[in-house]
Structure 1
Amino acid sequence: MPTLLELAYNAVDDKKGEDIVVLNMEGVSLIADHFMICHANSERQVQAIAKEVADQAAEAGYHVKRMEGYDLARWVLVDLGDVVVHVFHKDERGYYNLEKLWGDAPMLNMADEK
């Protein structure tokens, strides 16, 4: 059975999330163990990715703590507890630049682990 992080990564990848970055937040933030950041090219795709992450997590028995920003679909946050998934519209991702904001957090290469 995949870990929560693997499950979230696969859900994002299945819905063609682009430029997926996983940050190891352990020791950097108390919010979560991992942040996953990706983007999509349309509001509909942003919503599809966020919904797939939430649906797959729920199906696997994980509790989806909250989902924010779904209706506007510019930046959707899916809080799974230990993993927080940030799904951006491509136009918003560079503006918020979470990768730089959390630059102290090491990046994980999930693609190699697939």
Structure 2
Amino acid sequence: MPQAQIQPAQTGATPPTTIDHGDPVLALVLQSLDDDQAQELVTIDLDGKSSIGDYMVIASGRSTRQVAAMAQKLGERLKQAGFGNPRIEGLPAADWVLVDAGGVIVHLFRPEVRTFYNLERMWGFDGPSGAA
């Protein structure tokens, strides 16, 4: 399967991540977040780490308004593409919004909230391969 380099939206923010674009939901999620100018995009392969999904995507928005808009647009795009109606949690405050797209779990943060929770470290993200 073809491999693609995903560059972080903010230059130098996060090392590039190599991921398999064979998953159409993951490809749509990454394209949607890129279109909406998500920052510090990280994809973590959950294979062998968790049964909650296949991938975890973590990204930042510059404000609560951008985080909420990215989540809502992602939900609409997933539904329009025929991937069902994803569950979205955290929209009222929009400091941390979780989008459950089935096999892809998406966490959208304001930068300071993302730094506080540091999910990348918790899930063992260790550089370009995304593997611990």
Give the letter for the 1:45 counterpart.
Answer: Q
Could you tell me which residue of structure 2 aligns to residue 54 of structure 1?
A: 75
Report the identity percentage.
36
| Structure with greater proportional helix content | 1
Amino acid at match of 2:38: G
Match of 1:24 among 11, 36, 45: 45
**Unpaired segments ≥5 residues, structure 2:** 1-22
Aligned length: 107
RMSD: 1.7
Normalised by the size of structure 1, how large is the TM-score?
A: 0.88
Give structure 1 regions of 4+ aligned residues with deviation exceeding 6 angstroms: none
Q: Give TM-score scaled by structure 2 length.
A: 0.76
Structure 1: segments with no counterpart, 5+ residues: 109-114
Higher CA-based Rg: 2
Counterpart position of 1:99: 120
SS in 1 for 2:121: helix
Change (3 A) 1:5 1:72: same
Structure 1 residues 100, 62: CA separation in 2 closer, same or farther (over 3 Å shift)? same
